[in-house]
Amino acid sequence: MVFVKRDAEGHIVSASLTQDAAHPELADASDPAVAGFARALMGEDPLADSDMRLVRVLEDVIDLLISRDVIRFTDLPQAAQSKLMERRSMRQSRGGLDLLGGDDFV
């Protein structure tokens, strides 16, 4: 969780990991406004954007291989299984998988 300060228009202008007088509002780190603030602060990184899109493609390919019985989920190392399960859970909570489609490739 992060604590944010907003301007009169509701835009995040400052963020902190601790609550104080300047950062009174609790915001979820996955909130698009928080992510947008962080991107604006760090600048755009085309390679990082590309990496994230590729990660999603690889997740979808792994799921496809598993669904077609080319590989078994348990064939993957335990660390990979844990990471995939964590990301699968996060993606499903955001509306499910979109195999090799959607707005990620625009």
Q: What are the distances in angstroms from CA 25 to CA 29, 34, 42, 72?
A: 12, 12, 22, 45
| pLDDT score recorded for residue 100 | 54
- Amino acid in position 5: K
Per-10-residue mean pLDDT of the chain, 106 residues long, equals: 91 92 90 85 75 87 94 95 89 63 47
pTM, whole model, 2 decimals?
A: 0.49
| pLDDT score recorded for residue 106 | 38
